[in-house]
Amino acid sequence: MNITCKKIELTSAISIVMKAVDSKPQTPILSGIYLKSEEGTLELHATNYEIGLVVRIDADIEAGGTLVVPGRYFQEVVRRLPGETVSLAHDLEDMSISITSESASFKLRSMPANDYPTVKKAPGNIEFTIKDNTLRSLIKKTVFACGTDPARPVFTGCSLAVDGTKLTMAATNTHRLAIKEVVFDEELGKIKLIIPSRILGEVLHTMSSEIPTDIEVTCSHNAISFSFENLFMTSRLIAGQFPDVHNVVPSSFTSEVLLSTQGFSSAVDRVSLISRSNNYNIIRFEFVGDSLHISSNSPDVGRAEETIPISKEGPDLSISFNAQYIMDVLKNIDSENCRLSLGKNAYGAIAVREEKDNSFIYVVTPVRTQN
């Protein structure tokens, strides 16, 4: 290989694929980035067997070829190069890659390309195209609700259910549940799978382009992949049966509350300063007439309280929650006001929704307290 490319493009490509390079990889070769150059393109591959990433950038190819470079060193070297273009030349004899840019010259030991498990597109049962902002919204509004307990792997991912024209993404840790739906114009087919939350986080971070783009999604029963213009990402799935989320949403509510998302969020953030010091992070909500009184108590630290205006239809209710579960959803509500749907007593789950959009619902079960 003997090529030249733009430093800024190479730096960005490396930083994307490095997300699939673990700091303590399973085998030494996985500490590397696989490089392949041909026909005006440099392709970078990285994988940890859980996630696989491929990024393509333009390059002037004098001689094509493949090799594996040490990932972390390659990243640090390229990032610090002085010039705007980078030349990469593979020296097969001493198994090294020269990296040169203006006055700076590096030689890094390379690894044999044949040993690398390159990232390949697997055939899918279902393929569809989705706008990046739609996919972003699906992920952002659900992934935060995932569980973290590795003993219950099903809850550490988001469920993706495709059924006809409807695509539903959902996540739960059994105490709270987030569901977001999108309806497509055409039939997509039928599949249910569970995507690891970490991968969805990477998808979110990678979709940073300001121009709306189309993303091709390919699903099979053991892998999902996302193709952007210059980027391909594939992920293993979580095996298991995700609970039927629609059964968890209460069929009816007793009161409806409308309040300012920002005002609610700030007040809960403040009052939870005190609740964080008690074991269950318990915060109390008293919906009385046109007011919501939020309070928390900790014998060791003290007490916090705040009253904010609300508009309510239905009877008053006092109910307690884990403050974190309320904070989490409020960070992901985009509308100026949010809607709370309350049950008839302090033991019933409540729902949080955006002001006008019914495609998202968040259900959270209360904490049972003495008073």
Residues near a copy of itself (CB under 8 A) are: 70, 73, 76-77, 80-82, 96, 103-109, 266-267, 269-270, 273-274, 277, 300-308
Rank residues 307 and 345 by Cβ distance to a copy of itself and give the closer one: 307
For the residues of 111-127, what is the DSSP string, one character each? B-GGGS----PPP-SEE
Rank residues 165 and 307 by Cβ distance to a copy of itself and give the closer one: 307
For the residues of 76-124, what is the DSSP string, one character each? HHHHH-SSSEEEEEEETTTTEEEEEETTEEEEEE-B-GGGS----PPP-
- Shortest distance (Å) from residue 303 CB to a copy of itself: 4
φ, ψ dihedrals at 125, nearest 5°: -75, -35
Q: 193: closest CA among 126, 130, 258?
A: 126
Spatial CB neighbours of 115, under 8 Å, sequence gap ≥ 6: 29, 68
Spatial CB neighbours of 176, under 8 Å, sequence gap ≥ 6: 145, 325, 328, 329, 362, 363, 364, 365
Rank residues 140 and 293 by Cβ distance to a copy of itself and give the closer one: 293
- Given a contact cutoff of 8 angstroms between Cβ atoms, the answer to whether 263 and 301 are in contact is no
- Shortest distance (Å) from residue 103 CB to a copy of itself: 5
How is residue 357 written in tokens? 């959009």
Rank residues 106 and 184 by Cβ distance to a copy of itself and give the closer one: 106
- Shortest distance (Å) from residue 309 CB to a copy of itself: 9
- Shortest distance (Å) from residue 149 CB to a copy of itself: 28
- Given a contact cutoff of 8 angstroms between Cβ atoms, the answer to whether 216 and 126 are in contact is no
- Given a contact cutoff of 8 angstroms between Cβ atoms, the answer to whether 204 and 230 are in contact is no
- Shortest distance (Å) from residue 175 CB to a copy of itself: 25
Rank residues 118 and 266 by Cβ distance to a copy of itself and give the closer one: 266
Rank residues 161 and 267 by Cβ distance to a copy of itself and give the closer one: 267
Q: Which residue has the tokens 């007439």?
A: 289
- Shortest distance (Å) from residue 289 CB to a copy of itself: 16
Rank residues 171 and 267 by Cβ distance to a copy of itself and give the closer one: 267
Rounded to whole angstroms, the Cα distance separating 366 from 52 reads: 39
- Shortest distance (Å) from residue 240 CB to a copy of itself: 40
